[in-house]
Amino acid sequence: MPNYDYKQISAFEKAIEEKYGEAAVLDPSSLWNQDKEKAYLDQVKAVEKYYRQQPYENYVDQGGFILKEKLVSKKNFKNCSSCGEQAYKADDEIYMNKFDCCFKCYIKHIEGRETKWQKK
């Protein structure tokens, strides 16, 4: 067991308390009681029950946001002219508008040859 300098630890705690207040050095368990524990466990059970009742749904990354698939309109997605996959991400949308292909196909086929691709 390491030797601790309890005087130094006490001095650090005292300095922290003076600078940031008593709440900074308080033991969190001293603020907890049986009523708070019961309320917390009830909340956890309620959340678990809610999520168990929800049907499994697919999620889609839409412009950096994770959305339920049913909230996203399928007609907004375009198919890549090279690979035929639907463009779901914001990066794909940018490259679809400019080069009519998804980001993966841009990296594979177009990067470095943009002017030749746009002439076609």
Q: Which residues of 76-88 are buried (b: 16+ CB within 10 A; e: fewer)?
A: ebeebebeeeebb
> How far is residue 80's CA from residue 95's CA, in Å, rounded to a whole number?
10
pLDDT score for 12: 93
Which residue range forms the structural domain that includes residue 14? 6-53
pLDDT score for 90: 65
Q: How many domains does the chain have?
A: 2
* Residue at a domain's end among 17, 33, 53: 53
Q: Are residues 45 and 81 part of one domain?
A: no
Q: Between residues 25 and 66, which one has the greater pLDDT? A: 25
Q: Are residues 112 and 70 part of one domain?
A: yes
For 29-49, write each residue's pLDDT tens digit. Answer: 888 899 999 999 999 888 888
Report if residue 1 sits inside a domain. no
Q: Are residues 84 and 44 part of one domain?
A: no
Report if residue 22 sits inside a domain. yes
Per-chain mean pLDDT for the chain = 77
**How confident is residue 13, by pLDDT bands cut at 50, 70 and 90?**
very high
| Distance from the Cα of residue 92 to its chain's centroid | 20
Q: Are residues 108 and 92 part of one domain?
A: yes
